[in-house]
Amino acid sequence: MELGQRRYPIHIGRGLLDAPESLAALVTGRHALVVTDSNVAPHYLARVQQALAGKTTGTLVLPAGEQEKTLARFGEVMAALAALGASRDATVVALGGGVVGDLAGFAAACWMRGVRLVQLPTTLLAMVDSSVGGKTAVDLVQGKNLVGAFHQPAAVLADVATLDTLPARELRAGLAEVVKYGAIADEAFFGWLEDHAEALLARDPDALAHAIFTSCAHKAGIVARDETEQGERMLLNFGHTFGHAVETEQGYGGLLHGEAVAVGMVLAARLSADLGRAPWSDTARLAALLERFGLPVALPAGLSGESLLGRMKLDKKGVSGRIRLILWAGLGQAEIVTDVPEDDILAILEG
């Protein structure tokens, strides 16, 4: 698969990390810094290091988790690049999930005003979403992804075999983003997901490969048409304005990103139905599929509606203090809406 004017390959398949030549070919300059985390490193780091044996290579293993996607950790990546003596032809290799990809990607965007980035996603979420499309960022306590840059990778290599070691909860969180593509753009794919839910949960390789390929094709198409999110790309944020508010309010230690997106999508669908924009039956289908994937579909207890609304106002997608939401007209038909009254949003947040 190739993405847009700035064409780059997205390789999807089993055993790709076991092909040292193709991995080495992704690092074109002298220096490579491999950034990974403490859960991924024991499984896959040695293979990547071995493949890059001919290069001047550094490694940075960060503690795992969303709470590590910080400016402080970003500083550690900068320090590692400096220690490596990385020049402008350096490559940053992000080996891990979306946290590593976003953080290492932001470092690649900033080091010497931008060096080569190769994404080796190892979570389903990273394969279907975060590794493709060039968004990079770190979180602040004030909000998710508030500091970042657009920086497209030179290549994405998704070895589907790495999903064998992914904890079940993380697999399910990734499925939330897969469901999103059906919800916003592809009713037929949504139907396919309903038919193959059990196969996906059982990690059937063919079902996973189809889900990843279809998701990446949607993401690549949307990003190619609107790289810097002036319009259509915003549709990918279906469920995210609600979801980010939940994640931030919980301090990044509660629901996983994909779980928060699952809740957010159902809230966005319910709001759409409340406003008469979409049929209730589609909201029910969305919630039912997410539940089959073991995902939450309601707000966690103890969160204040007013506080969540405050978080939503700080969301990057907002304009001039107004909350901009991605709602839908039903399955496969997402739309950008800027004039939703706050009282209606609050009513959804307060159940």
Ligand X SMILES: NC(=O)c1ccc[n+]([C@@H]2O[C@H](COP(=O)([O-])OP(=O)(O)OC[C@H]3O[C@@H](n4cnc5c(N)ncnc54)[C@H](O)[C@@H]3O)[C@@H](O)[C@H]2O)c1
C-beta of 54: minimal distance to ligand X in Å? 26
- Residue nearer to ligand X on the CB measure, 65 or 300: 65
Residue 315 touches ligand X, criterion: CB under 6 A: no
DSSP 132: S
177 in catalytic set: yes
- Residue nearer to ligand X on the CB measure, 261 or 299: 261
Q: Say which of 237, 259, 270, 311 is annotated catalytic.
A: 237
219 in catalytic set: yes
- Residues of span 218-277 touching ligand X by CB under 6 A: 257-258
**Cα→Cα distances 188→43, 159, 182, 193, 263, Å:** 36, 26, 7, 9, 22
Residue 135 touches ligand X, criterion: CB under 6 A: yes
135 in catalytic set: yes
Phi, psi of 344 (to 5 degrees): -70, -40
C-beta of 92: minimal distance to ligand X in Å? 14
C-beta of 125: minimal distance to ligand X in Å? 4
C-beta of 146: minimal distance to ligand X in Å? 11
Give CA 104 to chain center in angstroms: 14
Q: Say which of 68, 170, 229, 247 is annotated catalytic.
A: 229
Among the candidate windows 16-24, 99-107, 288-296, 322-330, which touches ligand X by CB under 6 A? 99-107
Tell me the number of residues near ligand X by CB under 6 A. 31
The only residue of 97, 182, 330, 332 in contact with ligand X, by rule CB under 6 A: 97
Helix axes 205-225, 187-201, angle to 10 degrees: 140
Q: Say which of 69, 116, 180, 240 is annotated catalytic.
A: 240
Residues near 273 by beta carbon (within 8 Å), at least 6 away in sequence? 279, 280, 282, 283
Please state, in angstroms and rounded to a whole number, the distance separating the CA atoms of residues 158 and 41.
16
Residue 347 touches ligand X, criterion: CB under 6 A: no
The only residue of 12, 77, 156, 173 in contact with ligand X, by rule CB under 6 A: 173
Q: Say which of 116, 144, 233, 324 is annotated catalytic.
A: 233
Residue 39 touches ligand X, criterion: CB under 6 A: yes
Bridge partners of 135, per DSSP, are 150
Residue 313 contacts residue 236 (beta carbons within 8 Å): no
Structure-token pair, residue 171: 């697999």
C-beta of 280: minimal distance to ligand X in Å? 28
Q: Tokens 């609050």 sit at which residue?
A: 346
Question: Which contacts of 341-349 are long-range, i.e. CB under 8 A and separated by 24 or more positions?
Answer: 342/309, 344/271, 344/274, 344/275, 345/271, 345/309, 345/312, 346/305, 346/306, 346/309, 347/274, 348/267, 348/270, 348/271, 348/274, 349/242, 349/267, 349/299, 349/305, 349/308, 349/309
The only residue of 70, 91, 162, 214 in contact with ligand X, by rule CB under 6 A: 162
Please state, in angstroms and rounded to a whole number, the distance separating the CA atoms of residues 313 and 244.
11
The only residue of 70, 91, 119, 130 in contact with ligand X, by rule CB under 6 A: 130
Structure-token pair, residue 29: 């300059």
257 in catalytic set: yes
Residue 99 touches ligand X, criterion: CB under 6 A: yes
313 in catalytic set: no
Report the 10 Å Cβ neighbour count for 20. Answer: 15
Instruction: Give the residue numbers marked as catalytic.
Output: 113, 135, 177, 219, 229, 233, 237, 240, 244, 257
List interacting residues with ligand X (CB under 6 A).
Answer: 37, 39-40, 43, 64-66, 69, 96-100, 102, 122-123, 125-126, 129-130, 133, 135, 144-145, 162, 165-166, 170, 173, 257-258
